Copies of this chain bind each other. A is one copy, B any other.
């Protein structure tokens, strides 16, 4: 937390259209350097977390594939699917599937994105978002001298709540969970809720300033320096609940 405990977040405009082969760090640095902060500083500072929408990472990495019709798109989704978690027929006869994808993420359509891509195509998620985050972090350090935390984020729904929120699917230099085991409450008892998904909360805060239609796929969150680490760390893969802890893999009560 910054000295006065304030969190600040902003999403600059002017991020260029990203296409296959682009050096993301090289394109983002000029945009990030234009950021101005209330204390008069500009650009990035140690302790900042750079939050990047997975969409532009995937585009730079050439994750665009052909999906010329519904059947081909379904085939693309099936190719990314490891396990169907739930499915429902839509009124129009198509099937909505929540699946576990190759990254272990549970999402609709395996996270395959058919919006903001040229017609007849679909966008897969980055193949290894944590590696992408580490690569971007190195690129930002090389160009700015600052070693920010980096999160790569995607959007997903929730089983029992309406609407979508952003979450971290890639991370470098961010302690993705704060583990409060051993902390005690005001009555001296050990806290029951010990693991806070800080990276997902930072992703959500960043989405508030990025938005979905305004062409601002990158945000910087300042004030979370206490979860920014020198080492790249375990990444966002460590946010995925192991199968053995998954209470919804077997026997959800049926009514």
Contact = CB atoms under 8 A, between A and B. Distances in A.
Interface of A: 1, 4-11, 36, 38-39, 83-88, 96, 98, 100, 105-106, 114-119, 155, 158-167, 176-177, 180, 183, 185-187, 189, 191-193, 195-198, 200-202, 204-205, 207-209, 212-213, 215, 223-224, 238-241, 245-255
A248 B247 contact: no
A250 to B, nearest CB: 6
B84 A253 contact: yes
Given A5-B10, A116-B185, A163 B204 contact: no
Given A209-B223, A248-B252, 6 more contacts: A5-B209, A38-B39, A83-B255, A84-B253, A162-B241, A250-B255
Copies held by the complex: 2
Nearest to A163: B197
Contacts of A162: 177, 195, 197, 238-241, 245
B248 A255 contact: no
B251 A254 contact: yes
Nearest to A167: B161
B252 A86 contact: yes
Interface centre among A4, A160, A193, A215 (most CB of B within 10 A): A160
Nearest to A88: B247
A254 B29 CA distance: 47
A88 to B, nearest CB: 5
A166 B84 CA distance: 27
Contact of A38 (B38, B98, B189, B207): B38
A118 B115 CA distance: 51
A198 B191 contact: no
A93 B4 CA distance: 45
Nearest to A107: B160
